[in-house]
Amino acid sequence: MSARITCPVLSTRVTSAEDAASHIHHGDNVGFSGFTGAGYPKATPAALHDQIVAAHDRGDEFRIGLWTGASTAPDADGVLAEAHGVSSRLPYNSDPVMRRLINTGEVDYIDAHLSHSAQHMWFGFYGNLDVAVIEVTAVLPGGLLVPSGSVGNNKTWLDQADRVILEVNHWQPRELEGFHDIYYGTALPPMRQPIPLTDPMQRIGEPYLRVDPAKVVAVVETDRPDRNTPFAPSDATSAAIAEHVVDFLRHEVSAGRMPPGLLPLQSGVGNVANAVLAGLDGSEFTDLVAFTEVIQDGMLDLLDSGTLRAASATSFGLSEIGVRRFMDHIDAYKGRILLRSEEISNHPELVRRLGIIAMNGMLEADLYGNVNSTHVMGSAIMNGIGGSGDFARNAFLNFFLTPSTAKNGAISAIVPMVSHVDHTEHDVQVIVTEHGIADLRGSSPNDRAVKIIERCADPRFRPALQDYLDRARAERPEARHTPHLLDEALSWHQRYLDTGSM
């Protein structure tokens, strides 16, 4: 019996990935573990890929509905997309091969608020879940599971699936036991109760996932690393954005609108987010706490320096260097990092109660403060809304961050009208680019437009934006709340498609 599988019942189910994958059939809905490239299954997807390809070679149909926590990796989303084995996908994807199939229309993609995904499954809105494929760190007696490097929707998939495949990944440190807080107090309306969490680091659950051993059809042992996206060092643009954010927080504290220890931080994934964390690390702020989705390399820096006291999240999202660092000092992080289900990490009730400071990237914003986080030129999806809506809508204070231009200046991130809306003018408080910050709180649309043009737009695009605004205001003097020239509102995007530049 493997040291990682001490459950007498489940140790008898250890088998090959090929055998495990054989429990997945055409038409099944399959729930994978995985969030930000951490904790996704690593062997079963490849075996499933081979079985799908073989079926297709025989002329048989074989496509599944694929549900996850959020993004996985090339060896999960990627291989199944390559096999053309996915009919539908939810709630979030960032894999480039899968993205291409979504954008050609081969894969039906349901881009959902992450806090909604588990409950919509429970509500019956997504149909039946046939199989769950869940990576864990260890299997204890009685079907108690030590979770892996992400929690995501694992609790829901394990509870709801007809059949369960477990992957026990020896690469995940055994010491992950104790890093998780799995809340089993959720219920369906009308039986729901208040979620008792009032402090980001409060434990309201237990350190283990549960599974009914009778449902486990296969246990696969693996020893393979997570995706571990390389950490992109901060550039001058990101650093400038970060400086604006830190200055703004400082200003809010001095104005008495924010406690000196700030409020719990949520930070999106990526370069700009890491720069903001670095900016905080170089500031006077200390003893902060995070209530967020993902523990990135930048958060380890803050935990090490004491800028961050502790962090609650649903997943790691570390580079290879970050992973090594985490593993080398894993005992020092225990008690300071807590991973929860994404229905809890992103829960509107908790985000609002705790008064989160939400910081998320975006693709573009328009003159009136509508934000597009997902769609390139209106039609093609990039990744998905993820948790940005859960956090932004319910935050105490939200920031949307972006460089003012993309594609070497060909694209302005500030446009007359966004080509897709993920966060409406009602939800967007502070927009930041390297040029400055537009504080939209308590502002009318016309005030917002002035601030966004003057403070956030790239100077090369400001005259054209101002000209659009002036002409829109002039055209229909009786319709000046959010004045638009409808035959021109999306012309910047069309021009980019036609000419390669806005």
Residues between 269 and 298 with contacts to a second copy, criterion CB under 8 A: none
Q: Is residue 317 annotated as involved in ligand binding?
A: no
Residue placing its CB nearer to a second copy in the complex, 217 or 489: 489
Q: Is 476 in the site for a second copy (CB under 8 A)?
A: yes
Helix ranges restricted to H, 282-367: 297-305, 320-328, 330-333, 342-345, 348-354
Parallel/antiparallel/unpaired status of strands 414-415 and 86-90: unpaired
Beta carbons of 484 and 470 less than 8 angstroms apart = no
Residue 8 DSSP one-character state: H
Choices 3-11, 75-83, 311-319, 485-493; region in contact with a second copy by CB under 8 A: 485-493
- Give the residue, chosen from 237, 370, 398, 404, that forms a contact with a second copy under the rule CB under 8 A: 370
Q: Which of residues 437-466 bind a second copy (CB under 8 A)?
A: 441-447
Residue placing its CB nearer to a second copy in the complex, 236 or 486: 486
Q: Is residue 271 annotated as involved in ligand binding?
A: yes
Which residue type occupies 325? Answer: R
At residue 89, the 3 state secondary structure works out as strand
Q: What tokens does 465 get?
A: 């934006």
At residue 494, the 3 state secondary structure works out as helix
Q: Is 124 in the site for a second copy (CB under 8 A)?
A: yes
Q: Which residues contact 154 (CB under 8 A, 6 or more apart)?
A: 33, 39, 69, 132, 134, 147, 209, 341
Cα gap 108→436, rounded to integer Å: 38
Residue placing its CB nearer to a second copy in the complex, 179 or 396: 396
Q: Is residue 143 annotated as involved in ligand binding?
A: no
- Give the residue, chosen from 43, 112, 265, 300, that forms a contact with a second copy under the rule CB under 8 A: 112
Q: Is 331 in the site for a second copy (CB under 8 A)?
A: no
Q: Is residue 378 annotated as involved in ligand binding?
A: no
Q: Whose CA is closest to 21, among 47, 40, 39?
A: 47
Q: Is residue 384 annotated as involved in ligand binding?
A: no
293 catalytic? Reply is yes
- Give the residue, chosen from 324, 329, 352, 407, that forms a contact with a second copy under the rule CB under 8 A: 352
Q: Which residues contact 471 (CB under 8 A, 6 or more apart)?
A: 485
- Give the residue, chosen from 146, 339, 489, 502, that forms a contact with a second copy under the rule CB under 8 A: 489
Cα gap 176→330, rounded to integer Å: 8
Helix ranges restricted to H, 204-314: 236-254, 271-281, 297-305
Q: Is 425 in the site for a second copy (CB under 8 A)?
A: yes
- Give the residue, chosen from 256, 408, 459, 499, that forms a contact with a second copy under the rule CB under 8 A: 256
* Active-site residue, from 293, 342, 364, 434: 293
Q: Is 250 in the site for a second copy (CB under 8 A)?
A: no
As annotated, the binding site for CoA includes: 268-272, 383, 387, 407
The annotated binding site is made up of 268-272, 383, 387, 407
